[in-house]
Amino acid sequence: MSMMAEFKEFAIKGNAVDMAVGIVVWAAFGKIVSSFVNDVIMPPIGLLIGR
């Protein structure tokens, strides 16, 4: 089952609390990944490239 099909099935159930929790977790995960990339992965790449 694709991710979009699972989301549609989940959204149709109408459980607003689960939807709100999912959005908060998604936003927090996005911030964590963004911070990790900017603070851990990019500095060594910047040193290698020379910027």
The domain spans of the chain are: 3-49
Where do runs of H (alpha helix) occur along 1-51?
3-13, 16-36, 42-49
Give the pLDDT score at 31: 92
- pLDDT for position 5: 86
- Per residue in 7-47, pLDDT tens? 877 777 767 778 888 899 999 999 999 999 999 999 999 99
- Give the per-residue pLDDT at 1: 66
Distance, CA of 26 to CA of 10 (rounded, Å): 15
Does pTM top 0.95 for this prediction?
A: no
Residue 12, pLDDT score: 75
